[in-house]
Amino acid sequence: PQPQVQPDPTKKTLVVLGTGWGSVSLLKKLDTENYNVVVISPRNYFLFTPLLPSCTTGLIEHRSIMEPVRSIFQHRKAAVKFYEAEASSVDPDRKVVIITDNSEIQGDTSQTEIPYDMLVVGVGAENATFGIPGVRENSCFLKEIGDAQLIRKKIMDCVETAAFKGQTEEEIKRLLHMVVVGGGPTGVEFAGELQDFFEQDIKRLVPEIADRCKVTLIEALPNVLPSFSRQLIEYTENTFKEEKIDVLTKTMVKNVSDKTVEAVATRPDGTKETITIPYGLLVWATGNAVRPIVKDLISKIAAQKDSRRGLAVNEYLVVQGTRDIWAVGDCAVAGYAPTAQVAAQEGNFLARLFNNMAKTEALEARIHELSSSLNLKPGTNSADAAREIEECERKLRRIKDIKPFHYTHQGSLAYIGSEKAVADVSWWNGNIASHGSMTYLFWRSAYLSMCFSTRNRLLVSIDWLKSKMFGRDISRE
Ligand code: FAD
Ligand code: NAD
């Protein structure tokens, strides 16, 4: 049977913002027939971010790590409404979300209001630039699929331009200098993938300039991967040295122009020196900043006046100062790192919570209905009604109260190039730090198993095989 399309007036309207890790994990496990579910996101697909760095060099094709959200909803008993739009503001007093279609093609209506009874904010975060001049205009980010496609295009543009007849030596060096700012996992994984690309494909296909290709990673702190254990940090830095990736630690970028980066480096004796680094491609990976929609919501809730890094939530992920708004993932401040692992567990938690709430409410409503009928018409079928009330009460007792959200850290993994990875894996009550080629195989199998669907798993496996057999596709489209 076709799912019901019109909203059911007897059910609450649950509006979910975003189609990332948090929101999609919630939607995957939610019994959608309990609510009128409306999903709003400028992106009509889920993106498996852990493999995004591999798309920048064409090791993996971008569509292999995307899953259309409409296919997630297709087999649901109740229809889920999806609007491809950005939530531009939320009015918590009127309980409406204002949404805007900012896509290329627009109809007569491109802005409207969506009323909600319950709202889940899972809009993620945007790229931090710390207001550093020139960053937005001159660098590439690595958050969305479009970012990876742009980087892939630009890398090859730099290579082909460097190979142009008559190019000066100085210009060749600049064009082939790829600078990555930010030594967190995003910057490290991208630098590793890029060096692999130069070693495995550019050396073979464009040998005349390959020896001038250079990757530099700039990090403001004394080391890269600050959230990993000491042993893995050292292993990563040594591996980068072997791979000939330059790592400039204690170096903070202060200014960016179209061809150079200006940074302040702290020398071992504590003195500071300003250095200018010419680049062909600049990738900016310095972490997260709060999205405007989240800032707007924070400004409308008195209890959020001290929130700086996102929406402060309580142990049930309810946005503090509200009763009907929840937040998950990178836009929520619950005391955990902004990772896919956290967002997914939060989404799963909310699905259980909402499924439970719906069951409880339905049973309570039935008990209320039966008790009223007993009071109105005592005697008529009263034994049946009393039995059913007892049954409902028994079921209610069986529905366990959901305990507050508790995050279980399963470990951190990062690819560092030349078929090596680092892993801090939680094991019983301890931590195991592992690295090298076996860890790389573990990294691959873990990410393959975490892919959203069997279709994604198959596509990613084929991409890996294809690149192994024929090399990466360097066509610039
Ligand atoms: P997202 O997944 O970013 O989703 C946000 C959603 O909200 C998107 O669908 C977006 O389109 C939508 N949205 C944005 N604005 C609006 C709006 N105004 N209205 C409605 N919708 C909106 N974490 C790990 O644990 N392991 C990893 O290996 C890992 N690798 C990563 C690699 C890269 C390159 C990057 C960038 C991140 C990686 N992360 C990893 C971090 C992880 O991707 C994030 O923590 C995770 O995506 C957060 O989930 P989220 O649902 O909060 O946000
Ligand atoms: P991050 O916040 O982890 O790291 C950003 C780095 O940029 C910091 O080390 C910071 O010191 C540095 N930085 C900031 N400003 C700078 C400047 N002006 N000059 C030089 N360096 C500067 O950011 P990320 O790597 O994008 O990660 C974001 C989140 O996503 C994190 O929670 C991370 O754990 C998660 N993530 C996880 C994985 C993984 O598990 N494999 C991969 C990617 C991202």
Q: Ligand 2, atom 26: nearest CA belongs to which residue?
A: 287
From start to end of 43-169, where are the E strands? 45-47, 66-68, 80-84, 86-91, 96-100, 111-115, 118-121, 126-127
Instruction: Average the pLDDT over 310-322 and give the result.
Output: 98
**pLDDT given for residue 426 in this prediction:** 80
Atom from ligand 1 closest to the CA of residue 144 = 36
| Residue 245 located in a structural domain | yes
Q: Locate tokens 């980066």: which residue?
A: 261
Q: In the predicted model, is pLDDT for residue 4 greater than 80?
A: no
Q: In the predicted model, is pLDDT for residue 1 greater than 60?
A: no
The pLDDT mean for the chain works out to: 95
**pLDDT given for residue 77 in this prediction:** 81
| Residue 466 located in a structural domain | no
Instruction: Average the pLDDT over 292-315 and give the result.
Output: 97
Mutate to test the pocket of ligand 2, among 48, 65, 188, 286 (most ligand atoms within 8 A of CB): 286
pTM here? 0.96
**pLDDT given for residue 373 in this prediction:** 83
**pLDDT given for residue 379 in this prediction:** 65
Is the minimum distance from the CB of 183 to ligand 2 under 6 angstroms? yes
Instruction: Average the pLDDT over 239-256 and give the result.
Output: 97
| Residue 83 located in a structural domain | yes
Instruction: Average the pLDDT over 328-352 and give the result.
Output: 98
**pLDDT given for residue 384 in this prediction:** 87
Ligand 1 centroid–CA 366 distance in Å is 40
Instruction: Average the pLDDT over 448-475 and give the result.
Output: 97
Question: Between 4 and 364, whose confidence is greater?
Answer: 364
**229 and 297 housed in the same domain:** no
Which one, of 292, 191, 283, lies nearest residue 246 by Cα? 191
**C-alpha separations of 364 from 281, 354, 407, 417, 452 in Å:** 61, 15, 30, 57, 36
**120 and 178 housed in the same domain:** no
| Residue 311 located in a structural domain | yes
Q: 357-372: b or e for each residue (b if 16 or more CB lie within 10 Å)?
A: bbbeeebeebbeebee
* Residue 149 structural domain: 135-286+408-452
Q: What residue type is 345 in one-letter code?
A: Q
Q: 10-23: b or e for each residue (b if 16 or more CB lie within 10 Å)?
A: ebbbbbbbbbbbbb
**pLDDT given for residue 10 in this prediction:** 87
pLDDT confidence tier of residue 221, bands split at 50, 70 and 90 = very high
User: What interhelical angle do 185-197 and 230-243 show, nearest 10?
Assistant: 30
Asked which of 349, 369, 395 is the last residue of a domain, the reply is 349
**94 and 119 housed in the same domain:** yes
**413 and 274 housed in the same domain:** yes
Instruction: Average the pLDDT over 327-343 and give the result.
Output: 98
Instruction: Average the pLDDT over 336-358 and give the result.
Output: 97
Q: In the predicted model, is pLDDT for residue 430 greater than 80?
A: no
| Residue 381 located in a structural domain | no
Instruction: Average the pLDDT over 184-209 and give the result.
Output: 98
Write phi, then psi, for 29 (nearest 5 degrees): -100, -5
**pLDDT given for residue 3 in this prediction:** 60
Alpha-carbon distance of 337 to 341, in angstroms, equals 9
Domain count, the chain: 2
Which one, of 165, 155, 142, lies nearest residue 195 by Cα? 155
Task: Respond yes or no on whether ipTM tops 0.90.
Answer: yes
Contact 224, 183 (CB under 8 A): yes
Is the minimum distance from the CB of 451 to ligand 1 under 6 angstroms? no
Ligand 2 centroid–CA 304 distance in Å is 25
Query: Which domain CATH number covers 64?
Result: 3.50.50.60
**pLDDT given for residue 358 in this prediction:** 92
**145 and 73 housed in the same domain:** no
Q: What residue type is 365 in one-letter code?
A: A
Q: In the predicted model, is pLDDT for residue 5 greater than 80?
A: no
